[in-house]
Amino acid sequence: MTAGITNGGSMGRRGICAETYLDWNATAPLRPQAVTAMSAVLASCGNPSSVHRRGRAAWQAVERARESVAAMLGGSVEPSRIVFVSGGTEANHLALIGAGRERVLVSAIEHHSVLDAVADAETIPVDSDGVVALDALDRLLAKDPRPTLVSVMLANNETGVIQPVAEVAALARKYGALFHCDAVQAAGKISLDAAAIGAGGQERGRRAGTENLPGIAGFAAAAAAESIAIYDRVRGLRDSLEAGIASAAPNAVIMGAGALRLPNTSAIAMPGVAAEIQVIALDLEGVMVSAGAACSAGKVGPSHVLAAMGVEPDLAASTIRVSLGWSSSEADIAHFLKAWTALYHRRGGDAGGRRAA
């Protein structure tokens, strides 16, 4: 669970524009419900492993949190199978390294916490929209009978493209392989049903240390507050943003536009203008976005996701990620489009490039 900055009326660096936060896939503003839940447990004191009344109250808070998270997963997972960890990276490492399988297959567009977990993992290719190639996975599974784990994310953090995980799970079962699914980016934005996804649950006793009670309580409160209906509105904002881009810049590219995507994510290329220049220029106008995944201490490098999709290096290098959330507004979209369009015309962005199908 992480906290970020909120949208709102604070003045930008030049003192003339409000801040617009459009980097929700990196970290999201803390929900008020999470603040309330975390404040309540911080105001008390109790170790969930202690048997006295404070300890029992803390234990009950953790168990209620398991129930909230299980409900977010569609109710098909028993709360007792929920294991709280520090975040997505630890969860992925726990699953991939702890599975004990001789062979690991990961899609080419996985988060680095998956790609870097197993040094000799084999890669499952994706198509030009960033969707995992099921026929290639079938061939990879068929060629080697060793015990295997398959890892394919539910939705990509850079493009928002949603993967056919039910079909991936079916292929894994066909060959007796385990299936692991990183669903971090999809949680709360689209309906989650662990049974439909086909991924297995985690076992108890896999993680040492006292439970992070404030983090667990805050996470559960945020999970309970999420509503798919909110993201129906967000999808409308995302579509409005992309329509504005298409109108202002016919050669701009929306990555993965031909695939099913998360309702809040747009990966947008401005041909001829480096992503880092766009990020800085937009920030000077009070608009905060990222250049691809924001997980490398501010480093901007080539996107392995876009490379796997076959995007030309120059075009990939000109791609930014815009990600919205539950408090994003029409004013945020207008602010972004004004700043992005001004930069586009200022930098001569109407030369070269292509539109995505």
Which positions are catalytic?
Answer: 295
CA distance 246 to 340: 12
* Contact of 324 with 232, CB cutoff 8 Å: no
Q: Which residues are CB-contacts of 324 (< 8 A; sequence separation ≥ 6)?
A: 22, 24, 234, 237, 238, 264, 265, 332
Q: In what order do the strands lie in the sheet with 319-323?
A: 253-254, 265-269, 319-323
* Contact of 142 with 176, CB cutoff 8 Å: no
CA distance 144 to 241: 46
Determine the Cα angle at 300 with ends 183 and 310, to 5°.
65
| Closest residue by Cα to residue 218 from 88, 44, 42 | 42
Q: Which amino acid is at 321?
A: R
CA distance 264 to 71: 22
